[in-house]
């Protein structure tokens, strides 16, 4: 493995104007990372990566590299790009336990973090290093959010998230698992107990509906629910998946691994929104794709499916005169998610946007004073790296806010 990594590192041209870095949403200094590993300074490289992106080891596995860093590598113009993700993963994974995080002296100020997904972990790590007493409130029994309960094990091993838990404990971060803020406890209760600020990173767990007849039937499931714990589902042999993103690919590959024999993904358009790598893996695993198809009704026996037509402006028209039954034992709907509204219902000072996301200003502060948010709860379903990118800035803004308060 290390020989392969060095071979890939040697292919890097060390461009003066590195397009790979421009393609990275979090501006990872890729040429410097590669230079350091070639000079046997792997720990320096690992510390640099973690400082820039606390979830570097995760992003090296789940980012859409072909559209980001590797998709911008100049080597890819006439051949294969440098396998940047493999290099980053090797460094981040091999050095994770050896990274020593510097922590400023405790400042005695408490900050609550609601949710332990990508945004929550990022905020907690950064602010703990700044000397804050951090408590993470998590509805489930383990940390990770969408990374643990929405990305399959074969794409992101759960043991990586367990290692993050240990790293966070080293910083003195406290955890309240199996506890939902917004039920018996409100955000105002946290302020009453002395928290100086609260961060919301609860993600987007509410599945979007197709709004077609039959969606409540027993043969229908939503991707976010299925991926949470696929072992409890009996899908049968023939599975129809409605969706076009990476989540739909995850569902297909998981269903096949759990014994389903005929797995078909139906898409309204003539191409998938998922990354090309994930599409190729899905095909390799044995799933099929049916393009320009749209369901209009769900039956006990399967789906009433129609062909679609796409005009020059990209508008999709469903051709209802082509309606026919497509048999399936199970239908799984994978058309994205939006945030839950439990917190908003409990703390009335919080406001949602028209799309159902938590409303924030350019500093990440919500309409409730001292409450900040980022990640999917603000943007809707998005990528891990984008959650980290925005959360890094919001961590600094929260620090400035708390330090500006008079005790």
pLDDT tens string 113-136: 999 999 999 999 999 999 999 999
299 and 256 both lie in a single domain: yes
319 and 343 both lie in a single domain: no
* pLDDT of res. 344: 72
Domain endpoint, select from 280, 305, 333: 333
Domain count, the chain: 3
- Is residue 276 included in any domain, yes or no? yes
Tens-place pLDDT, residues 235-246: 999 999 999 999
Domain endpoint, select from 98, 133, 168: 98
18 and 79 both lie in a single domain: yes
44 and 23 both lie in a single domain: yes
Tens-place pLDDT, residues 220-236: 999 999 999 999 999 99
Asked whether the predicted pLDDT for residue 343 surpasses 80, the reply is no
What is the token pair recorded at 288?
């099929």
- What is the per-residue DSSP string for 258-325? TT-SEEEEE-SSSS-SS-HHHHHHHHHHT-EEE-SEEEEEEETTEEEEEEEEE-TT--EEEEEEEEEE
126 and 224 both lie in a single domain: no
327 and 345 both lie in a single domain: no
End-to-end CA distance of the chain: 54
120 and 163 both lie in a single domain: yes
* pLDDT of res. 184: 85
- Is residue 103 included in any domain, yes or no? no
- What is the per-residue DSSP string for 183-196? TTB-HHHHHHTTEE
Q: Does residue 249 contact residue 278 with C-beta atoms inside 8 Å?
A: yes
The pLDDT-based confidence of 74 (bands split at 50, 70, 90) is very high
- Is residue 105 included in any domain, yes or no? no
- Is residue 66 included in any domain, yes or no? yes
329 and 348 both lie in a single domain: no
* pLDDT of res. 407: 63
CATH number at residue 94: 1.10.1060.10
141 and 43 both lie in a single domain: no
What is the token pair recorded at 196?
């100086």
What is the token pair recorded at 158?
């759960």
State the pTM of this model. Answer: 0.94
**How far is it, in rounded angstroms, from Cα 400 to Cα 370?**
11
- Is residue 104 included in any domain, yes or no? no
CATH number at residue 286: 3.50.50.60
286 and 271 both lie in a single domain: yes
By DSSP bridging, strand 206-207 and strand 220-222 are unpaired
35 and 77 both lie in a single domain: yes
201 and 341 both lie in a single domain: yes
Domain endpoint, select from 290, 318, 333: 333
Q: Does residue 322 contact residue 307 with C-beta atoms inside 8 Å?
A: yes
Asked whether the predicted pLDDT for residue 1 surpasses 60, the reply is no
Compute, in degrees rounded to 10, the torsion defined by CA atoms 364, 367, 368, 373: -30
Angle at 199 between CA 198 and CA 203, to 5 degrees: 145
Domain span at residue 68? 2-98
């Amino acid at each position: 493995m290390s020989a392969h990594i060095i071979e890939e590192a040697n292919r890097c041209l060390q461009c003066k104007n590195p397009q790979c870095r421009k393609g990275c949403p979090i501006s990872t200094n890729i040429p410097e990372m590669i230079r350091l590993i070639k000079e046997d300074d792997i720990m320096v490289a690992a510390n640099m990566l973690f400082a820039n992106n606390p979830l570097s080891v995760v992003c090296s596995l789940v980012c859409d590299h072909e559209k980001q860093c590797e998709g911008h590598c100049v080597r890819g113009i006439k051949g294969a790009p440098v396998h940047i993700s493999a290099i980053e993963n090797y460094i981040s994974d091999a050095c994770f336990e050896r990274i020593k995080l510097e922590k400023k002296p405790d400042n005695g100020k408490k900050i609550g973090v609601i949710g332990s997904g990508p945004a929550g972990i990022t905020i907690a790590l950064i602010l703990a290093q700044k000397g804050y007493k951090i408590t993470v409130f998590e509805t489930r029994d383990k940390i990770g959010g969408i990374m643990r309960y929405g990305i399959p094990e074969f794409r992101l091993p759960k043991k990586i998230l367990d290692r993050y838990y240990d790293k966070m404990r080293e910083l003195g971060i406290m955890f309240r698992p199996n506890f939902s803020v917004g039920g018996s406890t409100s955000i105002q209760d946290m302020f009453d107990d002395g928290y100086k600020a609260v961060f919301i990173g609860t993600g987007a767990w509410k599945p979007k509906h197709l709004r077609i007849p039959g969606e409540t039937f027993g043969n229908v499931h939503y991707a976010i629910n299925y991926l949470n714990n696929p072992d409890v589902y009996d899908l049968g042999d023939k599975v129809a998946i409605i969706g076009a993103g990476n989540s739909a690919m995850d569902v297909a590959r998981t269903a096949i691994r759990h014994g389903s024999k005929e797995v078909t993904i139906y898409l309204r358009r003539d191409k998938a929104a998922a990354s090309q790598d994930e599409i190729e893996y899905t095909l390799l695993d044995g799933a099929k794709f049916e393009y320009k198809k749209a369901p209009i009704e769900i039956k006990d026996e399967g789906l009433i499916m129609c062909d679609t037509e796409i005009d020059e402006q990209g508008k999709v028209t469903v051709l209802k005169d082509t309606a026919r039954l497509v048999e399936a034992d199970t239908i799984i709907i994978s058309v994205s998610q939006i945030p839950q509204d439990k917190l908003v219902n409990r703390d009335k000072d919080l406001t949602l946007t028209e799309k159902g996301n938590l409303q924030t200003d350019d500093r990440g502060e919500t309409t409730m004073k001292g409450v900040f948010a980022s990640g999917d709860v603000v943007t809707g379903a998005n990528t891990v790296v984008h959650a980290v990118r925005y959360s890094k800035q919001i961590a600094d803004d929260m620090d400035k806010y708390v330090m500006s308060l008079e005790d």
